[in-house]
Amino acid sequence: MLDDYAGIFVLLIVAAAFFLFITFIGHRFGPRRPRAHKAEPYEPGITTLGPTRRQVPIKLFRVAVLFVLFGVQVVFMYPWAVLFHNADERAFLFVEMLIFMALLLVGLAYAWKVGALEWD
């Protein structure tokens, strides 16, 4: 069983080591040119007067989480459909997907109830 995934584990380890190596090289040998304008927040075309911290509305994060949630749903449905097409145990796979969709619908109903889909 683990032999089937050994290549993936090796690839993840190599990718992590490469990332850490590149990050180390960049911090160790990269140019350091601190300037006052680099520390300022970015506002296109507007000279800032005073502090520029803006509060991002929580509704933006709610919509983003819902978008990711339903995006993951679609990502899980494609391999399921391929497996469903080639499987002998279609009834089990169908019930499994119904349970998955029911859980997502419960989450959507809850988000709708608490007003996460309202954008005023």
Q: What is the CATH number of the domain that holds 76?
A: 1.20.58
Residue 60 or 16, more confident = 16
Residue 120, in any domain of the structure: no
- Return the percentage of the chain with pLDDT > 70, whole number: 81
**Residue 16 in this model has a pLDDT that exceeds 90:** yes
| DSSP at 44 | T
Question: Domain range spanning residue 19?
Answer: 2-114
Residue 15, in any domain of the structure: yes
Residue 119, in any domain of the structure: no
Mean pLDDT of 66-88: 84
**End-to-end Cα separation, the chain, in angstroms:** 51
pLDDT at res. 92: 87
Residue 89, in any domain of the structure: yes
CB burial string 7-32: b at 16+ within 10 A, e below: eeeeeeeeeeeeeeeeeeeeeeeeee
**Residue 65 in this model has a pLDDT that exceeds 90:** no
Residue 109, in any domain of the structure: yes
Residue 53, in any domain of the structure: yes
In angstroms, rounded to a whole number, what is the distance separating the alpha carbons of residues 68 and 74?
A: 10
pLDDT at res. 14: 96
Mean pLDDT of 65-87: 84
**Residue 46 in this model has a pLDDT that exceeds 70:** no
Among the listed ranges 29-43, 71-85, 90-104, which one has the minimum average pLDDT value? 29-43
Residue 66, in any domain of the structure: yes
Residue 47, in any domain of the structure: yes
pLDDT at res. 33: 79
In angstroms, rounded to a whole number, what is the distance separating the alpha carbons of residues 18 and 25?
A: 11
Return the top range by mean pLDDT from 9-18, 46-55, 61-70. Answer: 9-18
pTM given for the model: 0.48
Total domains present in the chain: 1
